[in-house]
């Protein structure tokens, strides 16, 4: 994905936001247009599971991307199922994350390399994750850290285009108090020739995100924060209007809240440090 490669070394980053509903996707694209900046529109394997299949929601996201006034890359996020990656390629998605982080290192390398070969043959860009310790949160469990030398070896052995690294964030946090290891980010940046990706960014305060990008993170994945602002806005409307039944009346404010949040984050990441 050329946008990401061009950002390496500039001190600027790009936001990658997870869409679950059509309203998320609309708001992510509108928020990027408001900021006048490119964006990555992510569909996770979990979101696919929620919808029951990839094709309908992917088509909606691709249509939104096609009519956007800024560059929008539709990305398959946290795919553990290789068949889902193959389906995404068939549907025209050209950016995927293969998540084999919970596998032992050698198996992660072998399976990631095979996925990279298939994706590159199709002209697609592959992000992978290097897991150090198992468990529910994999490489992003608190305390887990990516080793720079191992990361460099992993990238060389697999040919991935971007690497998700564990530097102190954790998925699905409802507070924004995660403290990132900026020194480790800088060492990873020096050791790894491809863009670095931060997952679990909802738990990182704005200043932490700004510093992470300044130290070498390029792609910043945000999911939970959008769900928090969406749900907060919907809850507020429904609390004030117990009689409401038309979903447009409460989903529109939720969509607006996501849009504003996306614009804010994109501007924060897009400013050169």
Q: Name the site residues for ligand G3H (rule: CB under 6 A).
A: 18, 77-78, 171-173, 199-203, 221-225
Give whichever of 179 and 238 is closer to ligand G3H, judged by the CB atom: 179
What are the tokens at 104? 């032992």
How many other C-beta atoms can be found within 10 angstroms of the C-beta atom of residue 158? 24
CB of 236 to Zn ion, least distance (A): 28
Question: What span, in angstroms and rounded, lies between the C-alpha atoms of 240 and 192?
Answer: 51
CB of 260 to Zn ion, least distance (A): 22
Question: What span, in angstroms and rounded, lies between the C-alpha atoms of 90 and 128?
Answer: 20
Known catalytic residue: 77?
Answer: yes
Which one of ligand G3H, Zn ion, none interacts with residue 215, CB within 5 to 8 A by kind? none
Question: What span, in angstroms and rounded, lies between the C-alpha atoms of 260 and 229?
Answer: 10
Question: What span, in angstroms and rounded, lies between the C-alpha atoms of 97 and 158?
Answer: 13
Give whichever of 178 and 233 is closer to Zn ion, judged by the CB atom: 178
Residue nearest to Zn ion (CB): 199
Residue nearest to ligand G3H (CB): 223
From 34, 77, 99, 183, active-site residue: 77
What are the tokens at 168? 């102190």
Whether 111 and 56 have beta carbons less than 8 Å apart is answered as no
Which one of ligand G3H, Zn ion, none interacts with residue 26, CB within 5 to 8 A by kind? none
CB of 244 to Zn ion, least distance (A): 34
Residues recognised as catalytic: 77
């Amino acid at each position: 994905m050329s946008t990401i490669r061009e950002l390496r070394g500039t001190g600027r980053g790009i936001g990658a936001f997870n869409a679950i509903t059509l309203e998320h996707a609309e708001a992510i694209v509108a928020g990027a247009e408001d900021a006048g900046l490119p964006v990555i529109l992510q569909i996770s394997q979990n979101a696919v599971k929620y919808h029951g299949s990839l094709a309908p929601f992917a088509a909606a996201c691709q249509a939104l991307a096609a009519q956007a006034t800024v560059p929008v890359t539709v990305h398959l996020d946290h795919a553990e199922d290789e068949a889902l990656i193959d389906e995404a390629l068939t549907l025209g998605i050209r950016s995927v994350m293969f998540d084999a982080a919970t596998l032992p290192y050698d198996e992660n390398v072998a399976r990631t390399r095979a996925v990279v070969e298939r994706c590159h043959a199709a002209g697609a860009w592959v992000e992978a994750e290097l897991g150090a310790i198992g468990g529910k949160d994999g490489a992003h469990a608190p305390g887990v850290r990516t080793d720079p030398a191992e990361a460099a070896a992993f990238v060389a052995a697999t040919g991935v285009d971007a690497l998700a690294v564990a530097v102190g964030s954790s998925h699905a946090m409802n507070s924004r108090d995660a403290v990132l290891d900026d020194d480790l980010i800088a060492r990873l940046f020096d050791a790894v020739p491809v863009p670095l990706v931060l997952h679990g960014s909802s738990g990182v305060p704005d200043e932490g995100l700004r510093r992470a990008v300044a130290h070498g993170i390029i792609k910043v994945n945000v999911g939970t924060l959008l769900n928090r602002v969406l749900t907060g806005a919907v809850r507020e409307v429904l609390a004030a209007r117990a009689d409401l039944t038309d979903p447009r009346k409460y989903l529109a404010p939720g969509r607006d809240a996501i849009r504003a949040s996306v614009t804010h984050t994109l501007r924060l990441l897009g400013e050169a440090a």
